[in-house]
Amino acid sequence: MSVPAQSERQRKLATVAAAAMANKDTPLIRNAWYVAARSDEISRNLMARQILGRSVLLFRREDGTPVALQNRCCHRSFPLEHGKLDGDVIQCGYHGFRYDCTGKCVAVPSQPQPPENIRLRRYRAVERKPFVWIWAGEHDAADECLLPQPEWLGSPDWDLYIGYLNIKGSYVHMHENLLDLSHLSFLHETTFGTPEYARAPIELTVAEPNFEVWRHVECVLPGIYAKPLGWEGQKALRSSGAQYVSPGLHVNTGFLKNLSVPEEQQQPQPTIKVAQLITPETQRSTHYYFAACRNFARNDPEIDAFMLKAQTTAFSEDLFAMEQIARMQALESREDYYEIDVAADRAGVSMRRYLKKLADAEAAPVA
């Protein structure tokens, strides 16, 4: 069957545009900070986590400092998570090779001295409660000044709750999804979305490395916000922002104003901030923490539980979308598969182009 000329032209244009954007096959960006785990997940018990396609061993030294090392013993690839800690020394559970916290092999039981060249890959790990971050590239190249955790995350001025989802899809598409406010009325119809949202004007900031989207909507708030505020059925101004910060962080902000209340009776503006912490597990799967802070309905465990449940439900809708998209991408042949972009995609497309530039620069040979 012949392909109509217009369709073939559209396919070619879309293919050229897509080649400049990061996608599920783009090499992962290692020279960046990513969340390895929540602070309370890492202890004196050895644990492993797949991060950017590598198995990473996580634990705390006796002084409480977090450590991140290659999880595979250099000898016969036994996972060190199944070994044991002796003070600050890891002992492999297979042949007893012992490694210090820098990854250096300090003992081989079957011979007097260990070979000098045996060393585990070491990662820079930095704790910024409530998270432990990891620099996924070379240890000595890590720059703590680039660690992107917002100062409000963990501040006593905000109430905080944290959720986690594992997504069987690319971190690139999750970043694009979070920078896309046009899907709220549809994918999140019963959680975040309201009908007015889809038609609201978009304010864009697109200037590498800053990609930001805002929408301002007058609407009856969805229950996730209306219930904690006691604004059920009341009209409000909802200002929502989405910002790409780094390969491992995206921030969403919401400002709320009750339009049913006279100006002089307005309370301090209710605000919610969500740190979306995105860590590639593999090329095709993603660790996704969301840490939400609010300045209203403070110190109320019931509201914490309600909002965590509601946001987990909403973000699970994103998970569903990402996994269904990944499924369709796997089903379609490369010749048949292409996507088109519309005006609302501008920020996401620009962000994906930027990620592609970062990945290409990292992969380029050193002169």
- CATH code of the domain covering residue 180: 3.90.380.10
Do residues 58 and 172 share a domain?
no
Q: What angle separates helix 171-178 from helix 301-331, to the nearest 10 degrees?
A: 120
Q: 0.85 cut: is pTM over it? A: yes
* pLDDT digit string (tens) for the chain, length 367 residues: 344 555 777 777 777 778 889 999 999 999 999 999 999 999 999 999 999 999 999 999 999 999 999 999 999 999 999 999 999 999 999 999 999 999 999 999 999 999 999 999 999 999 999 999 999 999 999 999 999 999 999 899 999 999 999 999 999 999 999 999 999 999 999 998 888 888 889 999 998 999 999 999 999 999 999 999 999 999 999 999 999 999 999 999 999 999 988 888 888 899 999 999 999 999 999 999 999 999 999 999 999 999 999 999 999 999 999 999 999 988 877 667 778 889 999 999 999 999 999 999 998 776 5
Strands ordered across the beta sheet of 66-70: 33-38, 131-135, 122-128, 66-70, 54-60, 47-51
Residue 305 lies in a domain: yes
Residue 10 lies in a domain: no
Q: How many domains does one find in the chain? A: 2
* Closest to 144 (Cα-Cα) out of 152, 134, 159: 134
Instruction: Give dist(CA 68, CA 61) in Å, integer.
Output: 11
Judge contact between 162 and 38, C-beta under 8 A: yes
| One-letter-per-residue 3-state SS of the chain | CCCCHHHHHHHHHHHHHHHCCCCCCCCCCCCCEEEEEEHHHCCCCCEEEEECCEEEEEEECCCCCEEEEECECCCCCCEHHHCEEECCEEECCCCCCEECCCCEEEECCCCCCCCCCCECCEEEEEEECCEEEEECCCHHHCCHHHCCCCCCCCCCCCEEEEEEEEECCCHHHHHHHHCCCCCHHHHCCCCCCCHHHHHCCCEEEEECCEEEEEEEEEEECCHHHHHHHCCCCCEEEEEEEEEEEECCEEEEEEEEEECCCCHHHCCCCCEEEEEEEEEEEECCEEEEEEEEEECCCCCCHHHHHHHHHHHHHHHHHHHHHHHHHHHHHHHCCCCCCCCCCCHHHHHHHHHHHHHHHHHHHHHCCCC
Do residues 61 and 182 share a domain?
no
Do residues 180 and 267 share a domain?
yes
Residue 144 lies in a domain: no
Instruction: Give dist(CA 324, CA 179) in Å, integer.
Output: 18
Do residues 111 and 214 share a domain?
no
Do residues 76 and 98 share a domain?
yes
Structure tokens at 6: 């217009």
Do residues 59 and 205 share a domain?
no
User: CA-CA distances (angstroms) from residue 12 to 16, 110, 277, 326, 329?
Assistant: 6, 62, 35, 22, 18
Instruction: Give dist(CA 322, CA 124) in Å, integer.
Output: 30
Q: How far apart are the two ends of the chain, measured CA to CA in Å?
A: 49
Do residues 214 and 282 share a domain?
yes
127: CATH: 2.102.10.10
* Closest to 358 (Cα-Cα) out of 28, 119, 3: 28
Do residues 159 and 240 share a domain?
yes
What's residue 1's pLDDT?
Answer: 36
Structure tokens at 38: 């929540």
The whole domain housing 242 covers 149-363
User: CA-CA distances (angstroms) from residue 17 to 23, 201, 298?
Assistant: 12, 25, 47
Residue 78 lies in a domain: yes
